[in-house]
Amino acid sequence: MIETITTKPFEGQKPGTSGLRKKVPVFQQPHYAENFIQSIFDALDGYGGKTLVIGGDGRYYNTEVVQTAIRMAAANGFGKVMAGRDGLLSTPAASNIIRKYKAFGGIILSASHNPGGPDGDFGIKFNAANGGPAPEGLTDAIYAKTRAITSYRIVKGPDVDLGRVGSTRVGGMTVEVIDPVADYAALMQKLFDFDAIRALIRSGFTMRFDGMGAITGPYGTAILEGLLGFPTGTVMNGIPLPDFGGHHPDPNLVHAKELCDLVLSSTGPDFGAASDGDGDRNLIIGRGMYVTPSDSLAILAANATLVPGYKDGLSGIARSMPTSAAADRVAEKLRIACYETPTGWKFFGNLLDAKLATICGEESFGTGSNHVREKDGLWAVLMWLNILARRRESVADIVQGHWQAFGRNYYSRHDYEEVDAEAANGLMAALREKLPRLKGHHGIEAADDFAYDDPVDGSRTTGQGIRLLFAGGSRIVYRLSGTGTAGATLRVYIERYEADASRHDIETQAALADLIALSRGIAEIEERTGRSAPTVIT
Ligand code: G16
């Protein structure tokens, strides 16, 4: 039976960089999740009788909202829901299912790399028929609906059994519970040379993959240990848990410390990798060598033709603005275009759909390609494995060889987390106001607030981060995170280009020291936020 429930708008249901993210207790308020889901449906047209994909990263409150979303999809007239078993789907796997089965779209429940548990974070986002995050026009329309909502529709009834693969009915709608891993594993087998990777493993190559207690555990175990034959135990923290086993599932040097300590030691395995809460981010390390996400994008692009799925070459590369320009140098050499977009995977969708770019990446540990419309953690790991299998060199040798050929973009991101929001907004406003006067000081050649004109649909996005551009390719970029749930997070991105190979082995923070000092001074970070040092340096 379909019920129409009267409701009132909640303040602040505005999607950020990637969907609506709030603390779990906020989502647990009566009607809160329902309002947002109904607003998604209200902002869409023409889905009657069509298929909706639903799944999430398994974090606390996932199961409850999957059940709600299924019953609301039925009440709103969808013909079918495809849901991952136990309500699980990694973000890239959901993108693949939407594309493969030509679904109308999908609802993905995730707060990505943010911590989970009863006091952690939760999130909801909508992905469109191309498998990618809703573009800005649609997220704006969803937000407008959240401000005007008066009721939502839901089918009353018992929970769907999500524990078994198979079909059932809810109201007039079919619910198909699917294996969350199978379609994704099949896609990976199409793109990569599994035999070459198996031969690498037989030669004694070792790796560790950290699932961080999150969604990629089952994917990593099935693909790395199951299909490729890495020994059992290669995947660590491989069981998805509602609180990620207390991990902060953000694959970086700080939060994947156990893995990093192991692989960065001289006796560690040849290769290490990790993925985040919902499986779209990746961390790549080799024995004694951390690979920055920006370098990883450039190296994957430069070596892509070694991999079957990309053997015919790339049409173009895209990177988010704060990502280092290492990929630009590869694009230049390959004589292909390199696009610079605002932060947020949603901005790559048009470029991929229009075949202007094949590979995309972001400094925030995201890399991916035209195989889906999300960044994809395990894809990046398999891409590296395939390249290592073909080149038979160490990760460190490949990275250093890349720097020799293209120069090195020293790069670091300094995050000031949970800063007072007013202070952070004031800092950005003051920087903006200063922009016209900065040129010509401290070696600054240009200073602007980044704006993007989408070459496919002509839309313009403004206010995407303040850039200070120095002679020789150095940069300082400031922006506020769009994914946090408490206060504001100020991100400062610092980059220096070094062509001279004899200066490629300086410790990163030392190589950037003068720019780091300048970044703090120009923005008056300590005076305005009270912080004398960043919370996280990656
Ligand atoms: C999301 C987006 C990414 C973006 C990242 C960081 O990642 O999908 O495109 O780069 O947030 O955003 P911010 O700097 O605004 O916090 P994820 O992995 O959280 O979905």
Residues 40, 67: one domain? Answer: yes
- Residue 485 clears pLDDT 80, i.e. is over it: no
CA 121, CA 396: separation in Å to the nearest integer? Answer: 36
DSSP 226: I
Ramachandran angles phi, psi of 372, nearest 5°: -140, -170
Digit-coded pLDDT (tens) for 275-288: 999 999 999 999 99
Mean of pLDDT over the chain:
96
Cα(151) to ligand 1 centroid in Å equals: 31
Contact 81, 175 (CB under 8 A): yes
- Residue 486 clears pLDDT 80, i.e. is over it: no
- Residue 138 clears pLDDT 80, i.e. is over it: yes
For range 377-395, the mean pLDDT: 98
For range 2-28, the mean pLDDT: 94
532 is catalytic: no
Host H or E run for residue 492: strand 488-498
Residues 146, 278: one domain? Answer: no
Residues within a 6 A CB radius of ligand 1: 17-18, 112-113, 276, 280-281, 320, 343-345, 362, 364, 366, 481-483, 491
Digit-coded pLDDT (tens) for 427-478: 999 999 999 999 988 899 999 999 999 999 999 999 999 999 998 899 999 9
- Residue 117 clears pLDDT 80, i.e. is over it: yes
CA 134, CA 51: separation in Å to the nearest integer? Answer: 17
- Residue 17 clears pLDDT 80, i.e. is over it: no
Residues 433, 527: one domain? Answer: yes
Residues 401, 424: one domain? Answer: no
The confidence score (pLDDT) of residue 482 equals: 83
DSSP 133: B
Residues 354, 226: one domain? Answer: yes
Q: What's 519's domain CATH number?
A: 3.30.310.50
Q: Where do we find the tokens 């609506």?
A: 20
Question: For residue 494, what pLDDT band results from cuts at 50, 70 and 90?
Answer: very high
- Residue 254 clears pLDDT 90, i.e. is over it: no
Q: What's 369's domain CATH number?
A: 3.40.120.10
Residues 360, 390: one domain? Answer: yes
Question: For residue 253, what pLDDT band results from cuts at 50, 70 and 90?
Answer: confident
Which of 108, 124, 362 is the best mutation target for the ligand 1 pocket, counting ligand atoms within 8 Å of the beta carbon and taking the most?
Answer: 362
| Structural domain total, the chain | 3
Locate the ligand 1 atom nearest the alpha carbon of residue 16 and give its number: 15
Q: What's the predicted TM-score (pTM) here?
A: 0.95
Question: For residue 209, what pLDDT band results from cuts at 50, 70 and 90?
Answer: very high
Q: Which of 180, 211, 235 is the last residue of a domain?
A: 180
Host H or E run for residue 475: strand 475-480
Q: Which of 347, 375, 406 is the last residue of a domain?
A: 406
User: Which tokens in the block code for residue 503?
Assistant: 């200066």
Residues 435, 364: one domain? Answer: no
The confidence score (pLDDT) of residue 182 equals: 97
Residues 424, 400: one domain? Answer: no
The confidence score (pLDDT) of residue 487 equals: 85
Cα(484) to ligand 1 centroid in Å equals: 9
Q: Where do we find the tokens 């293209």?
A: 406
Digit-coded pLDDT (tens) for 307-329: 999 999 999 999 999 999 999 99
Q: How far is C-alpha 280 from the chain's CA centre?
A: 5
Residues 261, 382: one domain? Answer: yes
Digit-coded pLDDT (tens) for 361-380: 999 999 999 999 999 999 99
- Residue 406 clears pLDDT 90, i.e. is over it: yes
The confidence score (pLDDT) of residue 484 equals: 74
Residues 130, 196: one domain? Answer: no
Contact 477, 466 (CB under 8 A): yes
Cα(21) to ligand 1 centroid in Å equals: 11
Residues 518, 491: one domain? Answer: yes
User: Which tokens in the block code for residue 444?
Assistant: 């600054």
- Residue 127 clears pLDDT 80, i.e. is over it: yes
The confidence score (pLDDT) of residue 247 equals: 85
From the candidates 90, 95, 110, 112, which is the catalytic residue?
A: 112
Residues 49, 73: one domain? Answer: yes
Share of the chain above pLDDT 90, in %: 93
Q: Which of 150, 180, 210 is the last residue of a domain?
A: 180
Least confident of 264-268, 413-417, 453-457: 264-268
Cα(221) to ligand 1 centroid in Å equals: 25
> 338 lies in which domain range?
184-406
Instruction: Kindly report the number of other CB atoms within 10 A of residue 276's CB atom.
Output: 35
In the chain, the amino acid numbered 472 is G
In the chain, the amino acid numbered 367 is T
The confidence score (pLDDT) of residue 528 equals: 96
The confidence score (pLDDT) of residue 372 equals: 98
Collapsing DSSP to helix, strand or coil, 188 comes out as helix
